[in-house]
Chains A and B, each alone.
Chain A
Amino acid sequence: NAGVTQTPKFRVLKTGQSMTLLCAQDMNHEYMYWYRQDPGMGLRLIHYSVGEGTTAKGEVPDGYNVSRLKKQNFLLGLESAAPSQTSVYFCATAWGRGQPQHFGDGTRLSIL
């Protein structure tokens, strides 16, 4: 999936630690999204961006922060990780409003 690259792919954290997940895209898409996926819960939107320098809250934003300083990158930060944030995190991009989304391979994050 060369279009959307997520790093890292796996990570284990201790409660209270901080980390940043990086999403990089080479498709020149305006819109970028961060989701978390938990068993039986589907995909839930954390934060999204409609363009460089903009961010907005999604369905489950608490405990996360984001930044979109460059059009191609969308960063998701956990300031003080909690076990409830153990999940698979997906980044997605879209060229236009409500258009089909292209997903990265995901980051599997475990918080002990």
Chain B
Amino acid sequence: GQQVMQIPQYQHVQEGEDFTTYCNSSTTLSNIQWYKQRPGGHPVFLIQLVKSGEVKKQKRLTFQFGEAKKNSSLHITATQTTDVGTYFCAERGGGSNYKLTFGKGTLLTVNP
């Protein structure tokens, strides 16, 4: 099945610094979803991107879907300690696919 590769695996930043995680695929994606999981918690849906070149913002978070629909990124401006957690991308694949395939995630830690 399709796979999405996430980089980096870990990222440690000082509070106030920016953070970016990337999700890459060798094949064209139907859509991409982003989730956040706080330490000890469960994944929580953040956003879904469907269109080529799409950009969506949620406060300090900016999500992008590549023009070729093979990559996506999540950028956090001026990180805060509340941003700590693991960020996952997930892709649906095309056709009658009922499933999501999750990347392995990027663990973000923030030093106050």
Contacts and interface: CB of A to CB of B under 8 A. Distances in A.
Interface of A: 1, 31, 33, 40-45, 48, 50, 56, 58-59, 90, 92, 97-98, 100-106
B66 interface: no
A98 B96 CA distance: 9
A42 B100 CA distance: 12
Given A48-B98, A97-B98, A98-B31, 20 more contacts: A1-B42, A33-B99, A40-B104, A42-B103, A42-B104, A43-B102, A45-B101, A90-B43, A97-B92, A97-B96, A98-B30, A98-B92, A98-B93, A98-B99, A100-B45, A101-B45, A101-B100, A102-B45, A103-B44, A105-B42
B42 A45 contact: no
Nearest to A42: B104
A89 B41 CA distance: 12
Nearest to A58: B99
Contacts of A98: 30-31, 92-93, 97-100
Interface in B1-53: 1, 9, 30-31, 33, 41-45, 48
Nearest to B9: A40
B107 to A, nearest CB: 10
A109 to B, nearest CB: 15
A44 B101 CA distance: 8
A1 B30 CA distance: 28
B105 interface: yes
B12 to A, nearest CB: 17
The 5 A-B pairs at the shortest CB distance, nearest first, are namely A98-B92, A42-B104, A100-B45, A103-B42, A43-B102
Contacts of A44: 102
B99 A42 contact: no
Contact of B42 (A58, A59, A90, A97): A90
Nearest to B33: A100
B63 interface: no
A1 B33 CA distance: 20
A23 to B, nearest CB: 12
